[in-house]
Chain A
Amino acid sequence: EAAVTQSPRNKVAVTGGKVTLSCNQTNNHNNMYWYRQDTGHGLRLIHYSYGAGSTEKGDIPDGYKASRPSQENFSLILELATPSQTSVYFCASGDGRGGSAETLYFGSGTRLTVL
Chain B
Amino acid sequence: GEKVEQHQSTLSVREGDSAVINCTYTDTASSYFPWYKQEAGKSLHFVIDIRSNVDRKQSQRLTVLLDKKAKRFSLHITATQPEDSAIYFCAASMSNYAQGLTFGLGTRVSVFP
Contacts and interface: CB of A to CB of B under 8 A. Distances in A.
Contacts of A106: 36, 43-45
B25 interface: no
A41 B97 CA distance: 21
Contacts of A41: 105
Contacts of A33: 98-99
Interface residues of B, number: 21
Interface string B23-36: 00000000010101
Contacts of A58: 99
B56 interface: no
B89 interface: yes
Report the contact-size class of chain A (Cβ under 8 Å from the partner): 20 to 34
B42 interface: yes
Interface in A27-76: 31, 33, 40-45, 48, 56, 58
A102 B98 contact: yes
Nearest to B46: A103
